[in-house]
């Protein structure tokens, strides 16, 4: 039991260290932006992909609930 707790503590400490190191190059989890209203590059393309994925999910849900092939 004590060994499991020690191993869990080491894993948690390593995870926190990795997060701290990964975020250390700037202040906070998100990079600083020069303008708060600016959209990131590629945002329109990503929005199209999200819309397509939502449409595909809706079509799959509709097909799964369909009784045509039952």
Q: Which residue has the tokens 């499991």?
A: 4
Q: Is 66 helix (H, G, I), strand (E, B) or coil?
A: coil
- φ, ψ (nearest 5 deg) of residue 53: -65, -40
Question: What are the extents of the domains in the chain?
Answer: 1-25
Q: What is the pLDDT along the chain (70 residues), one digit of tens a residue?
A: 566 677 777 777 777 777 776 666 655 556 555 555 677 888 999 999 999 999 999 999 998 888 776 6
Token pair, residue 57, equals 């999910």
Supply the DSSP symbol for 25. Answer: T
pTM exceeds 0.85 for this model? no
């Amino acid at each position: 039991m004590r060994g499991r707790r020690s191993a869990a503590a080491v894993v948690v400490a390593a995870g926190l260290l990795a997060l701290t190191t990964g975020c250390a190059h700037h202040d906070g989890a998100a990079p600083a932006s020069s303008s708060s209203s600016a959209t990131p590059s590629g945002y329109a393309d990503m929005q199209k992909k999200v819309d397509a994925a939502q449409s595909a999910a809706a079509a799959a849900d509709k097909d799964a609930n369909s009784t045509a092939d039952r």
